[in-house]
Amino acid sequence: MTPEESAPASGALLADEPQVRQALADADRSSVVGVVASHPTSPLAWTELADLADSEGRPIEAFAYAAVAVELASEQLTLGGWQPGTAVPWSAEPNRAYLRALDTQRRAAEQLGLDERAQRLADELASADAEAPARIASEFTPTQLITIVSSDDAFAPSSSTSAHDGEPLAEPAVADAAGED
């Protein structure tokens, strides 16, 4: 391990929140606020609420919820010995709540025309973990909470599918100019 890849200092780690993670996993969009109400000191719960507001195009709420998440995470990190401006590595999963909240607040600030604030938040995110912005962009899009595929079997594979045995497949029939096979 090189010095640049050294393990993060223990002070730069948010507490793991397995109960909150489970509650959020069990929640639908309308019940995320209930998870926050049950866990009001959880940076992760507030971050999820901020992401939800962001995905619904509510930048004022996204900004406010993310600000709460950032504040709670900063307090928790500071109690562990962290100094603002030092690393908060993405590699430690609990830290992702803080990093995601910074990014959500940055996006909301941009939408609200708070350009200087957005730049400060972008700088803070980059100083916490330079790779976090790219990771967030690829793994946590503003639409992450939207269900893409329903839970029914509409897209389940047919039971009549057969495996290909390696023999060449027959060419598909091509309709002639008159539209006949």
Interval 74-96: pLDDT, tens: 999 999 889 988 899 999 999 99
Please tell me the predicted confidence (pLDDT) of residue 12.
81
Domains of the chain: 3-139 (1.25.40)
Q: Mean pLDDT lowest for which of 43-47, 102-106, 174-178?
A: 174-178
Q: Is the pLDDT of residue 40 over 70?
A: yes
What are the backbone dihedrals phi and psi of residue 102, each rounded to the nearest 5 degrees, phi first? -60, -45
Report the distance separating Cα 77 and Cα 22, nearest Å: 22
* Token code pair at residue 41: 């000191």
User: To which residue do tokens 């999963």 refer?
Assistant: 93
pLDDT confidence band for 138 (50 / 70 / 90) = confident
What are the backbone dihedrals phi and psi of residue 83, each rounded to the nearest 5 degrees, phi first? -115, 130
* Token code pair at residue 32: 């995320």
User: To which residue do tokens 């200092």 refer?
Assistant: 9
Please tell me the predicted confidence (pLDDT) of residue 85.
84
Please tell me the predicted confidence (pLDDT) of residue 139.
81
* Token code pair at residue 167: 């023999």
Write the burial class of residue 108 (CB in 10 Å: 0-12 exposed, 13-18 middle, 19+ buried): buried
Please tell me the predicted confidence (pLDDT) of residue 163.
45
Q: Is the pLDDT of residue 173 over 80?
A: no
The residue with greater pLDDT, 8 or 124, is 124
Please tell me the predicted confidence (pLDDT) of residue 141.
59
pLDDT confidence band for 20 (50 / 70 / 90) = very high
Q: Can you tell me the mean pLDDT for 35-63?
A: 96
